Structures are given as C-alpha cells and as structure tokens.
Amino acid sequence: MTIIGIDLGTTNSAVAYLKNGKPEILVNKSGGRTTPSVFQINRNNEIVVGQEAKDTYPTLVTQSVMEVKRLMGTDEKVTVKDKEYRPEEISAHILKYLKSSAEEILGEPVTEAVITVPAYFSDSQRKATKMAGEIAGLKVDRIINEPTAAAISFGIENMDKDQHILVYDLGGGTFDVSIVEMYEGVVEVKASAGNNHLGGMDFDNAIVAWVEQKYQGENGRSIYGNTNDLEQIKIKATLKDAAEKVKKLLSAQMSARITIPFLGIYNNAPISVDYELTRNEFENLIRDMASSTIKDVDRALADSGLTVRDIKEVLLVGGSTRIPFIQELVERKFGKAPRKDINPDEAVALGAAVQGGIKSGEIDSKSGLMVIDVCPYTLGTEVVKNIGGQLVPGYFDPIIPRNSTIPISETKLYFTAYNNQEEVDIFVYQGENPLVNNNTCLSKDITLDGIPRKPAGEEQIEVTFTYDINGILNVKAKVLSTGKVREQAIRSQLGVMSDDQVAAAQERISEEYEKSELYQEVKNVIYRAEKMMNDVNPSDKQKIEKLLIELKRELSANNTNGVKLAEEELTDLLIELV
Ligand code: AMP
C-alpha cells in the first residue's frame, strides 16, 4: 500500500509517491504538478479545489477560502456560502482533492500519508494538520518538518557525501531555516528556526499597500471609494491577485506594470490603476522582511554551533526563493551560490514521499536513509518565583530546550509553593522568553490534585514532557509522595478538535461531496433540456421551462431528494417530447 507524501502549503500544495525507490510528483486532476491551496463552493454548489478556485477567487470571495494554513491550530472559523468551517475542514478538502488525484493515477485507494508542516509550527498547529488528514480519510503516519523533507529529497540523491547543508525555505506563508548534517545515509537536523507568519503573501500585501498609498496620494481619496464591505473585499482580492502576478514578473524583469482597468465605481466613474513598479522599489518594500530571515539563519547557526564556513551547500526551497533579492541575500551571507538543481516547489513533497517509503518499508533502514529531527522551540511550564518574600507568578521554566533531538522525554521536580496546597495547575508554554506572557500558551487545563496538605515546599511534583517524532507533546505530572499521576497529550486546548468533532466533520465532508456531485449528475439533463427548448412548440417549451426552474431551485437548495425527483420528471418529459 502506497503511503503518499503531501506538502500542504499556504498557497500551493503538492503530492508525491515513491516509485521504484525514487520519489515522484503525482500530477493533480487538472494536470498540475502543484495545486493552489484554495477551496471554493461554486454557484452550482460544486466543491472546487485548486487552480480553478484560485482563478475565480476575486469574483467569488464569499464562496472561497485562501491561505487557511495561517488559521490552523486556532479556533477561528471561516465562512463559505453562509456556512461556518473550522480551518481543519478546509484543509481536509484540499487533502481530499490531493488524495483522490493520487488515487486516479495509482489506480488504488490511498489511505495513509506523511504530511509536512513548517518546522516552526506549534503543537496545536501540528495536531490540527493531523486532524485535517483524518477528516479527509487519511491516516497520517508522520508529520515531518518541511525543511527536513527538502533535506531528505536532497539526501537521497547525495547519500555518499558527509557534509552540513542549510535549507532556506521561504514559501507563501511561512519561513523556516534548518541546518542539517548528512553522513552515511543519516539526515540529522542540528537546529531549526523560523517565522510562521512570513512568506510570499506578505510580499503581495506589501505591494497592495503600495498601490493603495499611491492611489491615495494621486487622487486624494481611498482606492476603495465609497464601496460597501463586500465590494471592498472583492477589490482587495483583485489587487492581491494582480500584486502576486507583478511580483512574479519582477523575478524575471527589472520593472512591471500593475494594470487593472476596472476595480469598481466611484461617483459614476470607474476606479482603475495603472502603475509601474520597479524591481528596486519592490526590494525596498520587502527589505525588512527579507532581512529578518537572515536573523533566523544566524540563530540557527549559533544553535548548531556552526559557522557560515561549515555549510557546504545551501538549498533554496519554497516559491518565494525565486525572488532574485532573496537569492542575493543568501548568497551574500554564505559567499557562495545556492544549489540550483532542486525544484523549490517540489522538494518538500518529494522528501515526504521518501519518508512514506521509509515508513512502508520500501526503503529499508540498512540500505536506506535515517532521519533525525529536532524540536525547534523551548517547551516549559509557568512557575511562581519568590521575589523579596512575595510569590510572583508568570515566569517561564524551560523543560525541553530548543533544538533538542526528538523524540525526547525530560523530567523536572517542582515543590509546592503554598502551605497546605492540595492541587497544582500545569500551564504549558512554548517560546524563548523568561516571561510566559511573551510565549505561546499550549495548555492551561492540566490540574493535578490530591497533594497531601503540608507546609510549602515539603511536597514534590515531578513533571515530565515527552515530545514525539511527530512533534506532539505529552505532559505527565506526579505527586512523588503518593504516586498519584495525571497524564495527557495536550489536546483539549483552544483550537484542537475533539474526537467527536472530527467524526462530525468526516460526516459533513462526505455529505458535501455527495451534494457537490449532484450538479455533475444532472448537468447533462439540464443541457439537453435547454437545447430542446429551442426546437419545440411554445406550450412544450413552457412545460420544459417549468420543470427546469424546479430542478435548478432544488439544486441551489442542495436538496438531494428534490433534485432526483425533479430530474426524473424532466427526463421523462424530454423522452416524451423526442
Ligand atoms: P510555495 O508555498 O512554496 O508554493 O510558495 C508559494 C509562494 O511563492 C507564493 O507566495 C508565490 O507568489 C511565490 N512565488 C512563486 N513563484 C514566484 C516567482 N517566480 N517570483 C516570486 N515569488 C514567487
């Protein structure tokens, strides 16, 4: 059974599998090697994923979702055609599309996958990704880090070399850097750093802001004129689409025009833009963001105890590394040109497919590859500190230091802080700041009770953090004197779905697919009826029209039974009239 590898990206996704020991991209149903991560329910209630959904996005904004990866791990909902969805459900639709594209090519059901996430993704973002897979009907064997996957796809071609490489991964929505050591078939990550909110879409937004300002400056009013909220969303979507195109052109030429003849209407006159953006101006717009990636590179280097000179190869991954300015920054930093022979859009999915092959046993550990990864951030708990006789909460106490090799289990001993303290709350945080408020809270709902009443400091609590190979954290707390234990995978925090919610989402997704296929099923009947209306007498035409209206009404109400009945009636009539 094939275990596919999926790169579930902010802007684009890709799927690959292992064919005769080599990873290969699986093209999607439209023949694309990558698939825009865009979901839509179109006017006919059909589910559309990929290029078509991206192309029609500006005209169908309330029916489409883009960039949902940025919401993974939160409980923020998105609305599509008046229905609310969790981010996992939208991602599940994208995964389901990739899964069925793979099934069409492989000619067999696909039920297992390795999915990649940014190295800097938190525990809840990883769990949300795993759940999206489950909702889509995929057992997610492994969650692996995107730069690690890219290193694996490079590693499988370069097994004979012992060297340190650096993976610089700048995609649509996230940035990661990983330093990887390769030796004797082992791909060992030494350190990772990154930013979950930096990528090509931020560069697009910077161009949109530039257009807005330029328009305001020239016209003395906002580009959005006096349009309503929905029109503003549509204008913004059109601007973003144009901005991305100009950005891509600027990777190949020194200047490009952003021309949109009709964005909307202001005082009966069309709102339009026609501006020239030079590569130099674009570089100024993204300079600070681009420079911040080099700070992360420095941190990863420092954490790995290596210097620029120790890095033998630099791999550029992610579509945004096609920007010449980014390539120059990296080249200047390392004093050598990055590798050009890996495909920045495909390397991650290919590496995930290799990991799938390791899991399925197709690549065996003797002749094959071994992958060792790290936890890129520090994990710890909140503690109170005694400051001048006062107990002050809010301090972060690290348990697993960042860039520890995973899997890892670390234990620390704590003492009761108050006299007769009977319970303790374990608040779990991720981050590098000494104060918890500046870090990310992963859980506030682990409480250990049953501590014997004693003076402060006389009872000991043992806290164990276990971080598994998928980057998922388990916390165990134990009262040492009694042996009472509270153990849980961090699951119930905000933004992570319960088992029941996952089951309900699985049901909903199947139902939606069934409904989506309704239109496909009756499309031919509608086509035949519309054609026949031109060839029959006025009274028959009226009969057809009546049933056609009925069928379309049932379709737009998404009423499966109603559609079936109306279709039967219409088909009977058409047969009668032939
Ligand atoms: P990924 O998520 O790795 O597919 O990266 C997608 C991002 O790369 C999007 O923000 C694209 O706009 C950006 N991108 C793709 N091709 C280019 C290009 N030629 N120049 C600049 N950015 C690009």
CATH number at residue 85: 3.30.420.40
- Output the six-digit token pair for 131: 């759940």
The CB of 263 under 6 Å from ligand 1? The reply is no
Residue 300 lies in a domain: yes
C-alpha 332 chain-centroid distance: 30
Residue nearest to atom 20 of ligand 1 (CA): 248
- Output the six-digit token pair for 504: 């309900």
Distance CA 253, CA 175 (A): 25
| Dihedral angle sign, alpha carbons of residues 337, 338, 342, 345 | negative
Same structural domain for residues 461 and 343? no
Same structural domain for residues 485 and 522? no
Same structural domain for residues 22 and 33? yes
Distance CA 103, CA 267 (A): 53
At 552 the pLDDT is 86
Rg (CA), the chain: 27
Distance CA 104, CA 109 (A): 9
Residues of the chain with confidence (pLDDT) below 50: 492
Q: Which of 6, 11, 249, 340 to mutate to test the pocket of ligand 1 (most atoms within 8 A of CB)?
A: 11
Residue nearest to atom 19 of ligand 1 (CA): 248
Residue 27 three-state SS: coil
Question: Tokens 């897979």 — which residue?
Answer: 133
Same structural domain for residues 481 and 512? no
At 557 the pLDDT is 80
The CB of 147 under 6 Å from ligand 1? The reply is no
Cα 285 to ligand 1 centre (Å): 16
In terms of Cβ atoms closer than 10 Å to its own Cβ (0-12, 13-18, 19+), residue 388 is exposed
Same structural domain for residues 10 and 144? yes
At 194 the pLDDT is 94
Residue nearest to atom 22 of ligand 1 (CA): 320
Cα 23 to ligand 1 centre (Å): 22
The CB of 351 under 6 Å from ligand 1? The reply is no
Residue 178 lies in a domain: yes
Same structural domain for residues 322 and 294? yes
The CB of 251 under 6 Å from ligand 1? The reply is yes
At 523 the pLDDT is 84
Residue 174 lies in a domain: yes
Residue 42 lies in a domain: yes
Distances (CA, A) of 112 to 69, 187, 350, 356, 540: 21, 23, 16, 9, 53
For 337-356, what is each residue's pLDDT tens digit? 999 788 999 999 999 999 99
Q: Assess whether 146 carries a catalytic annotation.
A: yes
Residue 227 lies in a domain: no
- Residues linked to residue 257 through DSSP beta bridges, in sequence order: 276
Q: Lay out the sheet containing 390-400: strands in order across.
A: 390-400, 379-387, 424-430, 440-448
At 391 the pLDDT is 92
Per DSSP, which regions of 431-555 are E strands? 440-448, 460-467, 473-479, 485-489
Give the active site residue among 69, 190, 476, 478.
69
Q: Which of 349, 374, 399 is the last residue of a domain?
A: 374
- Residues linked to residue 259 through DSSP beta bridges, in sequence order: 274
DSSP secondary structure of 66-100: --GGGGTTS---EEETTEEE-HHHHHHHHHHHHHH
Same structural domain for residues 467 and 542? no
Residues 6+ apart with CB under 8 A from 391: 384, 385, 417, 418
At 494 the pLDDT is 58
- Residues linked to residue 17 through DSSP beta bridges, in sequence order: 24
Q: Which of 456, 489, 522 is the last residue of a domain?
A: 489
C-alpha 479 chain-centroid distance: 39
At 367 the pLDDT is 64
Q: Which of 334, 355, 374 is the last residue of a domain?
A: 374
**Amino acid at site 398:** P
Distance CA 440, CA 428 (A): 9
- Output the six-digit token pair for 451: 């501590």
Same structural domain for residues 391 and 303? no
Residue 229 lies in a domain: no
Cα 247 to ligand 1 centre (Å): 9
Same structural domain for residues 483 and 549? no
Q: Assess whether 7 carries a catalytic annotation.
A: yes
Per DSSP, which regions of 8-129 are E strands? 12-19, 22-25, 35-36, 39-41, 47-49, 64-65, 78-80, 83-85, 112-117
Q: Which of 223, 154, 163, 161 is nearest to 190 (CA)?
A: 163
- Preceding amide of 407 cis, omega within 30: yes
The CB of 36 under 6 Å from ligand 1? The reply is no
For 50-86, what is each residue's pLDDT tens digit? 999 999 999 999 999 999 999 999 989 999 988 999 9
- The answer to whether the CB of 129 falls within 8 A of the CB of 149 is no
At 281 the pLDDT is 98
Distance CA 471, CA 556 (A): 43
- Residues linked to residue 277 through DSSP beta bridges, in sequence order: 256
- Output the six-digit token pair for 339: 């590798």
List % helix, strand, coil for the chain (3-state, nearest 5).
40, 30, 30
CATH code of the domain in which 470 resides: 2.60.34.10
Domain range spanning residue 533?
A: 499-577
Same structural domain for residues 14 and 133? yes
Query: How many folded domains does the chain comprise?
Result: 3
Q: Assess whether 468 carries a catalytic annotation.
A: no
Instruction: Output the pTM of the full model.
Output: 0.90
- Output the six-digit token pair for 282: 């674009």
Residue 355 lies in a domain: yes
Nearest atom in ligand 1 to the alpha carbon of residue 34 is 4
Residue nearest to atom 15 of ligand 1 (CA): 319
- Output the six-digit token pair for 576: 């009668």
The CB of 320 under 6 Å from ligand 1? The reply is yes
Same structural domain for residues 60 and 143? yes
Nearest atom in ligand 1 to the alpha carbon of residue 348 is 3
Give the active site residue among 89, 123, 146, 373.
146
Residue 222 lies in a domain: no
Same structural domain for residues 482 and 420? yes
